[in-house]
Amino acid sequence: MKFTSILAGAAALAFFSLPALAADYVGGAIKSADIGGKSVLTDANGMTLYTFDKDSAGVTNCYDKCATNWPPLFAAADAKPEGDFTLVDRTDGSKMWAYKGWPLYLWVKDTKPGDTTGDMVGEVWHTAIE
């Protein structure tokens, strides 16, 4: 009986430690999740998305080493804007997703859904909050 209680408690803890997904956007390529009491934008796998202060609305300035560390959230060639989610053209001809005009990125040091280790890196990267 005690083992069952411990197992149930562990399962509940694991369940509540994961971000709670709230909504899907642009065909599921972008989601929102409750992480730390905030509605955070994530990719389809639940990984946190970020914005970059050195970008401007509709323009990405993250290339080369920056894009290696902060992979852009690429959009499919046939992707269409939806509501607050728009597309940004990159210099290589690819497209990436943006929220309210601000390009969206992942962070290579986040290892699992719910991680937000990229927030405030260099004081120019921020968790994308819905």
pTM as predicted: 0.83
What distance in Å separates the CA atoms of residue 30 and residue 45, rounded to the nearest whole number? 9
DSSP conformational letter for 112 = S
> Which residue's structure tokens are 């804007």?
81
Render pLDDT for 16-50 as a digit per residue (tens, 0 to 9).
445 555 689 999 999 999 998 999 999 999 999 99
Render pLDDT for 69-110 as a digit per residue (tens, 0 to 9).
999 999 999 999 999 999 999 999 999 999 999 999 999 999
The structure tokens listed for 17 are: 């430690």
Q: Sign of torsion, CA 54 57 63 69?
A: positive
The structure tokens listed for 107 are: 């962070």
| Helix locations, the chain, DSSP H | 2-17, 65-69
